[in-house]
Structure formats: C-alpha cells, structure tokens
Structure 1
Amino acid sequence: MLLAIDVGNTNLVFALFDTSAGGGAAAQLKARWRIATDGRRTGDQYAVWLLQLLSIEGFDRSDITQIIFASVVPRADHNLTVLAEQYFGITPLIAGHGKAEWGFSIDVDQPSSLGADRALNVLAATELVGGDMIVVDFGTATKFEAVDFNGAYKGGIIAPGINLSLDALVGKTAKLPRIAIRAPDSASVIGRNTEDQMLIGVFWGYVAMMEGLIDRMKNEIGRPVKVVATGGLAILFDDNTRIFDVVDPDLTIRGLAILADRAGT
C-alpha cells in the first residue's frame, strides 16, 4: 500500500492507497486522515498519531510499502522523512525531487516557484481529464492553473482563500461577527441583517470573482477549456455555479499516487 502525504499551509492530509490492483490513477483510496499543520511536530509525534489511526482502520504498518509526500512547508519535510524511515523503514519519495520529478513542462518565468500542491493538481488533471484546462484549488489560497493540451503548465492566478478573506473581514472590524461559510438561504443578494449581508458578500462575492477570472482566462487561452475544481469547498461552490466541468476533491492526493507510480519503488 502507498501512504501519500500532502503538506499544506493549514492541514496535512495522510491518504492510504491500495495499489494491489494497479498504481497511479487505478489505485484505490482506502483511508484519509487530516491534521493541522505545525512545522514543530516531530516524526515521533506523527508516528503516535498515525499508527493509532492505522490500527483503528484495521491496517498494520507493515502494509505500507511506499511513501511519498509533497510539501509547501519546508520545516515539516525532515520530520516526515524521520517518520517514514524510523517507523516504516522506507525512504520516502519527495514530490518534485529525484525519481519523483514532475515530468511536465513548467512554462513560466520562475519554474522553481511552482508550489508542490499546484504541480500535483496539474499532473493529476492532465492524467484524469486532459486537454486545455483551468484547474481551481480551494485551499488557504485559491489557485487557478492554466494547463495546455500537452500537459504543460502555462501560469495561473493566486487569490486569497474564502476563509482567509473572512478572517480578514472579521479580524479588522470591531462589531462584525464570525459566520460559517455556506450558501445563503435565499437567492436574494440584498441582505436584511448583518450576518446575511456578510454571507452574501463573502459567498456570492467569491463566486463572482471565480466566474469573472475564469471567463477572462478562457478568453485569453482562446480555445475550448475544461474547468476542473478541487479542494474542500469545491462541492459547495459547484452546487451554486455552472463554471466547473469536473469536481474532484481528492485531485491533489491522487496526483501523489500517480507520481509515486511513475517513480516506482
């Protein structure tokens, strides 16, 4: 089995894939666990947490034969390597390095600046969807990636994530309350109270931003484009807009499975 770890700015996702019937896109996602990102967390602390979860789900550490991780938090890399080597006896693959190089063209001014999560989304979308694409990932930041029909990364957009926007709104005002991100109950965009007005501004404002940016990207690309969405809020937004052609909340970790399969053991 493959243990894939996606290290984001807010959370780490640990995903367990069954590769017995085939790796890469054919690998079956068997379990997924999430923990808050903390660069100070040691390999031993990860092990205590992860080994208990494996046991609860009926797995043993010996079931894991391959480990890969992708990280946008460099401080976590050493501790995850310790976890893999000390507790599983496996030298991990690191996405974007060595045998786990991306394998596609990064056609931008600073190729090395492309984050691992963004690269994995490009790789997975190319494998699973293909053609000219815009890949949208809802995370701490919302990223829009332009991918051409050859699978080359052509550039993109980084915007504040919706929760980050809400945090700024609440944190910089004295009286506005904390609200949960959800679709408004009414289709009206004229709120009758403070909380409704905030929700309309944050939610429908974010939908309008996405639709506007994607429309501009499509016009600039000039060819038919599929829009692929991933991240925790992708399904919520998909219920309230028609801009997405494909929604896969697990696109990033599927990218890790594909990359691990290409890299081999």
Structure 2
Amino acid sequence: MIFVIDVGNTNITMGVFDKDEIIAKFRLTTQINRTSDEYGLILTDLLNIKKVSIAAIDTAIISSVVPRVMYSLTSAIKKYLGVTPLNVEVGIKTGIKIPIPNPKEVGADRVADAVGAYELYGGPVLVADFGTANKYDLITEDGSLIAAVTCPGLKMSANAMWSGTAKLPEIEIAMPDTILAKDTVTSMQAGLIFGCIGQTEYIIKKMLKEAGLEKCKVVATGGFGRIIASNTDVIDIYDPDLLLKGLKIIAEKNKKVK
C-alpha cells in the first residue's frame, strides 16, 4: 500500500492507496511545532481507526510547501511506519517536464496536481486548484507544465475582508441564492463566490487563448473546487483527490526506477 501526504499551508491531507483505490483519507491542520513523536502518535491512531495495517504500507511520499514541517514529519514516518518517504522535489521522476528557468520555483503540490491531471485525463489539460491560494496550471499535450497563475484563495480573501475592516463580520464561505444581495453577510458571500467564479472564467479563457489551445480539458480540485466547478461551464471535471492520485502515480514511477 502507498501512503501519500500533501503538506499545505492550511492543512496536511493524507491518503492510503491499496492498488488504485483510496481506502482511507484524513486531514490535519498544519502546525509547525509538532514533534516527530506527536506526528507518529497521530498517524498511527488515524491508521488504526481506519483499520489500515501499518505493516502493509511499503511506500510513502510527501509533497510539501511548508519546509519547517518536513523534519518532524519525515522522522515520524520512518520511526512509526517503518518506511523512508519519497519527497517530491527536483530530480524525482514525475513524467512532467517543467521548461522554465528555475524548476525549483514550482511547488510540489502543483507538480502532483499536474501529474494526476495529465496521467488520468491526458493533455493538454489545465488544472484549477482552489485551496489556500487559487492555482491555475497549464500542461501541454507532451506533458510540459508551461504556465502557472496564482491568486488569493477564497479563505484568504475572506480573511482579508473581515480582518482589514472595522464592521465586516466573519462569515461562512457559501454560495448565496442570488448575486442581488440585500444584507451584509450575503453581499460578502456574493462578492467572494461570484468574484472567484469570474476570476476563474477569465483566467482560464485567457490562458487557453494565449496558448493557442481551442480544445483543452479543465480539471478542478481543492477544498473549494466543488463550489466553483458546479457554477461555471469552463470546468469539465471536478476531482477532489487529484493531488493524492498524482502523488500515488509519482510514487509508482519511482518504485519502477528503483
């Protein structure tokens, strides 16, 4: 079995694959100050609760955009799961080409998303990942990640609104019934959600136009991806587990290399 971990700025998302099936998923808040023993205790408890045999896990892989978490998390996986995790970084076999001056600038999560989208849905493909940040990545027919756009995500935008103003309240991020809002909460929800939909439609159309692509699959993922994908026609597929699937594919490619 393959244990996959994505360390994001807000959450650590984990999954266990038995062949092609995700048999368990869990999510933790990302905290810098956890020790390896704390991570080990959390991981083993979660796996036991989900009835996943730790002994059956023979491979682990991590993508991370939070370097300060890596030492404790990696040590925990070695000590408590008995495997040395792969780290998605420059030099690992992914099947994706990154033809830019400094490939190290591309986050490991974006690479995993690109691998998942390209391997599962073919190219050209555009990935729209709606998480802490909204990320739009364009992968060509030959598997080259040629362009990336990054914007504040819904939660980041919402936090900026209510922390940067005196009277705007903290609200639930949810789709309102109408954009014709008549109260403060609904007006904020309308601005956030419909603003993000507008951003998504413009950026995707602009990227495809400048790349000269008339036909291109668009795959959405991320925590808020379902809300956006279900309210626009520029997104073809919503895959909430795209990143985890991408990590699993990368792990398999590197097992074959070994």
TM-score (norm 1): 0.92
- The partner residue of 2:195 within 205, 209, 213 is 205
Please tell me whether the aligned partners of residues 13 and 28 of structure 2 are also in contact (alpha carbons under 8 angstroms): yes
Q: Pairwise mapping of residues 54-203 of structure 1 onto structure 2 (< 5 A)? A: 54-96=47-89, 100-186=92-178, 189-203=179-193
Which amino acid is the alignment partner of residue 219 of structure 2?
Answer: V
Offset, 1:97: 5.1
User: Which residue is equivalent to 1:227?
Assistant: 218
- SS at 2:55's partner residue? helix
Offset, 1:101: 3.1
Offset, 1:190: 2.5
Gaps of 5+ in 2: none
- SS at 1:206's partner residue? helix
Which amino acid is the alignment partner of residue 235 of structure 2?
Answer: F
Offset, 1:70: 1.0
Which amino acid is the alignment partner of residue 110 of structure 2?
Answer: R
Aligned mates of 1:216, 1:92 — CA distance in 2 = 38
Which amino acid is the alignment partner of residue 86 of structure 1?
Answer: K
Offset, 1:158: 0.3
Which amino acid is the alignment partner of residue 230 of structure 2?
Answer: D
- SS at 2:219's partner residue? strand
Q: Deviations along 1:98-142, whole A, 9 cap, x unmatched?
A: 5x3333210223211000000111111110011212110011111
User: Which residue is equivalent to 1:24?
Assistant: none
Number of aligned positions between the proteins: 255
User: Which residue is equivalent to 1:17?
Assistant: 17
Which amino acid is the alignment partner of residue 111 of structure 1?
Answer: P
Aligned mates of 1:97, 1:79 — CA distance in 2 = 21
Aligned mates of 1:85, 1:202 — CA distance in 2 = 42
Q: Deviations along 1:37-62, whole A, 9 cap, x unmatched?
A: 11221111011111111111222321
Please tell me whether the aligned partners of residues 144 and 158 of structure 1 are also in contact (alpha carbons under 8 angstroms): yes
- SS at 1:240's partner residue? coil
Q: Pairwise mapping of residues 21-36 of structure 1 onto structure 2 (< 5 A)? A: 27-36=20-29
Runs of 4 or more above 3 Å deviation: none
Aligned mates of 1:91, 1:132 — CA distance in 2 = 34
Please tell me whether the aligned partners of residues 96 and 102 of structure 1 are also in contact (alpha carbons under 8 angstroms): no
User: Which residue is equivalent to 1:22?
Assistant: none
- SS at 2:243's partner residue? helix
Which amino acid is the alignment partner of residue 261 of structure 1?
Answer: E
Offset, 1:77: 1.3
- SS at 1:254's partner residue? helix
User: Which residue is equivalent to 2:42?
Assistant: 49
Percent identity, aligned pairs only?
Answer: 38
Please tell me whether the aligned partners of residues 34 and 72 of structure 2 are also in contact (alpha carbons under 8 angstroms): yes
Please tell me whether the aligned partners of residues 90 and 103 of structure 2 are also in contact (alpha carbons under 8 angstroms): no
User: Which residue is equivalent to 1:4?
Assistant: 4
Q: Deviations along 1:212-242, whole A, 9 cap, x unmatched?
A: 1111111111121111111111111122111
- SS at 1:211's partner residue? helix
Aligned mates of 2:53, 2:95 — CA distance in 1 = 32
- The reply on whether 1:252 has 2:213 as its aligned counterpart is no
Please tell me whether the aligned partners of residues 107 and 155 of structure 1 are also in contact (alpha carbons under 8 angstroms): no
Aligned mates of 2:61, 2:252 — CA distance in 1 = 10
